[in-house]
Amino acid sequence: MKSYRFYDLILGAYVCVLLCANLIGPAKVSTVHVPLLGAVTFMAGVLFFPISYIFGDILTEVYGYARDRRVVWSGFAALVFAAFMAWVIVRLPPAEFWRANQPAVEAIFGNTPRIVCASILAFWCGSFVNSYVMAKMKVLTRGRWLWSRIVGSTLCGELVDSGLFYTLAFAGLWARRDLATVATTQYVLKSAWEIVMTPVTYRIVGFLKRAEQEDYYDRGTNFTPFSLRV
């Protein structure tokens, strides 16, 4: 198996961003006044979660779908462990001097199992859709028009992610109109964020292709998500 200088570093950075976005991001809902659009309300994590899709684009473009698949599974395992750890910590009986802080711990880390499962499943499905579309478009375009792959894969992956998360987490709890409004807002914000970052993605991809001497094309790749083989 070919070894790479930066693959492990990218894997570690990916998992770090993913955990922070899912653990710290949901702790605050913010409202920002945007010119022409007015007040826009969103969960703070939306500013950082799209970075994981940028990593997915970079990994698939440079190293191929199979190596990105291993990274997605690493992120999935990290999220499952973080959810389990949060559940244990919230339910441990607090010390007497700490009892006043327990409501804050529950508010930040005490997400319901439904929301946790929806978040993890949406991430898993959206990430694989993003990587699959990226890999297929690279072969179809013969490696040209990187911007089209970045934008196309993001629009598909984020659509699956946002649609699944809000449907699984809040259907039946929120009015359909509110659910559709929030999901659409989040989808547009996350997709727009990554589109704006396209020039940065170009630079990183170019650097890695030169440094790693790799520009992988997924011809004949087994695209099943249920594998760790490369």
Residues 2-53: pLDDT tens digits? 889 999 999 999 999 999 888 887 767 778 887 877 787 777 778 888 899 9
The correct answer on CATH 1.10.1760 for the domain covering 7-212 is yes
> What value, to the nearest 5°, has the Cα angle with vertex 8 and ends 88 and 83?
15
58-62, 82-86, 174-178, 181-185: which is most confident: 58-62
For residue 88, the model assigns a pLDDT of 94
| Phi, psi of 174, deg, nearest 5 | -105, 155
Q: What is the mean pLDDT of residues 86-94?
A: 93
For residue 220, the model assigns a pLDDT of 92
Q: What is the mean pLDDT of residues 210-224?
A: 96
Considering the entire predicted model, what is its pTM?
A: 0.92
Alpha-carbon gap, residue 182 to 176, rounded angstroms:
10
Radius of gyration of the chain (CA): 19
- How confident is the model over 121-171, as pLDDT tens digits? 999 999 999 999 999 999 999 999 999 999 999 999 999 999 999 899 889
Cβ atoms of 67 and 7 within 8 Å: the answer is: yes
- Cα of 195 vs its chain's centroid, Å: 15
- How confident is the model over 22-36, as pLDDT tens digits? 888 776 777 888 787
Q: How confident is the model at residue 216 (pLDDT cuts 50, 70, 90)?
A: very high
For residue 22, the model assigns a pLDDT of 83
Q: How confident is the model at residue 200 (pLDDT cuts 50, 70, 90)?
A: very high
Helix (H) or strand (E) holding 191: helix 176-196
Helix (H) or strand (E) holding 136: helix 113-140
| Phi, psi of 171, deg, nearest 5 | -60, 130
> What value, to the nearest 5°, has the Cα angle with vertex 217 and ends 211 and 68?
70
**Helix or strand or coil: residue 31?**
strand
Residues 6+ apart with CB under 8 A from 219: 139
Alpha-carbon gap, residue 188 to 191, rounded angstroms:
5
Judged against a pLDDT cut of 80, whether residue 76 lies above it is answered with yes
Alpha-carbon gap, residue 158 to 190, rounded angstroms:
7
Judged against a pLDDT cut of 90, whether residue 107 lies above it is answered with no
Helix (H) or strand (E) holding 19: helix 7-23
For residue 69, the model assigns a pLDDT of 97
Alpha-carbon gap, residue 153 to 56, rounded angstroms:
10
